[in-house]
Amino acid sequence: MNVSGPLHGTRLTLDLWHPNCWAIESTDRVGGGILAHAIYTAPTTEGESVNGLFTAFGETTTEVETLLEEICESPLAGEVLELQERFGRRQPSSLPGNVVTEFFLEYDPQDMLCPTLLEYGFVHSAPVRIEDGREYWEVCFAGDRDEIETAIDGVRADSGAEVSVETITSTPAGESERKRRMDALTGTQRRVFELARKRGYYQWPRGVSTRELASELDISKTTLLDHLRKAESKLLDPDGVGPA
C-alpha cells in the first residue's frame, strides 16, 4: 500500500498478529471475539502482572462461554474475573455480537504490543478488536504520512509482529490525537516518559533499566515507576480516564 506524501494526523486500521498473545491464540481456536479496552492497574515493580478490562462477544451464549473457557486455559493468561452480570445483550449497539460479557484479566505486560506501537508513534484511539487469531487496531499516527511504512517496519522488527494496513485516512485539520494526549501529561510525567522513550526503555530488549532511569532523574525507582505508569495510562487509555 502506497502511503507516501506529507499529511499530519493520519488515522489507520492495523491488521496484525504478534507472538505470546492469549487473545490471538484463543480466538484462533474457537469462535467469538474480544474487545480490549484499557489497563486499569499497572505494575509498580518489574516482573509484576497487569489487569486489563475486556469484552468477550459472540453470536450465542455457548460461543462466549466456550471462548472464556479457552482463555482460562491459556498458559499466557492469568486469573479471569467476570463482572457481576455474566451475560447480556450488546449495549451499546456499536458492540459486535449478540451476546457479550465483560471481564478483567491478569497477564504479563511484556506480552503487550501497545508500548511498541507507541514507541513508533501509533496511538490507539478505540478498543482493540481480536477475532479469528488477528488483532485490529484503530490508531492515529501524528508524524508525516511518508514515515508510516518505516514506523511499521520498526514495529515488525522489535516485536516479531505481522502488520498490514487495512485502512488509512486523514484526520481533520487541527490538534492531533497524539498531541492531545501528550498535553494531558503533567510536566513531570512528560519528562519521565520522553526520557524513557529516548533511552530505549520501550525497545525489546530494553536499552535501559528503571534503576538507571531513576538515577539519571535523581528520583527513587518507585517514584519513577509511578510517574511512568500514570503517563502510559493517559497515553494508552482510549477514553482518557487514566490517573492524574
| Gap between the Cα atoms of 3 and 144, Å rounded | 10
Q: Which of 106, 140, 167 marks a domain boundary?
A: 167
Q: In this predicted structure, what is the pLDDT of residue 230?
A: 85
Q: Is residue 178 part of a domain?
A: no
What total of structural domains would you count in the chain? 2
Do 157 and 64 belong to one domain?
yes
Do 132 and 193 belong to one domain?
no
Q: In this predicted structure, what is the pLDDT of residue 216?
A: 92
DSSP state of 186: -
Strand partners for 169: 11
Amino acid at 180: R
| Gap between the Cα atoms of 26 and 234, Å rounded | 28
Q: In this predicted structure, what is the pLDDT of residue 215?
A: 92
Q: Is residue 43 part of a domain?
A: yes
Q: Is residue 176 part of a domain?
A: no
What is the span of the domain harbouring residue 199?
A: 184-244
Per-residue pLDDT of the chain (244 residues; tens, 9 = 90+): 444 444 346 889 999 999 999 999 999 999 999 999 876 655 455 556 777 889 999 989 999 999 999 999 999 888 888 765 545 544 444 567 788 999 999 877 777 888 899 899 998 888 899 999 999 999 988 788 889 999 999 999 999 999 999 888 875 554 556 677 777 788 888 889 989 888 888 776 678 888 899 999 999 988 998 888 888 877 765 444 444 5
DSSP state of 142: -
Q: In this predicted structure, what is the pLDDT of residue 13?
A: 93
| Gap between the Cα atoms of 176 and 199, Å rounded | 25
Strand partners for 143: none
Q: In this predicted structure, what is the pLDDT of residue 186?
A: 85
What are the helix (H) ranges across 109-201? 114-119, 148-159, 177-183, 187-198
Do 116 and 34 belong to one domain?
yes
* Statement: the pTM of the whole predicted model exceeds 0.75: no
Q: In this predicted structure, what is the pLDDT of residue 149?
A: 93
Q: Is residue 162 part of a domain?
A: yes
Q: Is residue 189 part of a domain?
A: yes
Q: Is residue 143 part of a domain?
A: yes
Do 189 and 141 belong to one domain?
no
Q: Which of 104, 138, 167 marks a domain boundary?
A: 167
Q: Is residue 24 part of a domain?
A: yes
Q: In this predicted structure, what is the pLDDT of residue 52?
A: 85
Q: Is residue 1 part of a domain?
A: no
Do 87 and 195 belong to one domain?
no
Q: In this predicted structure, what is the pLDDT of residue 106?
A: 83
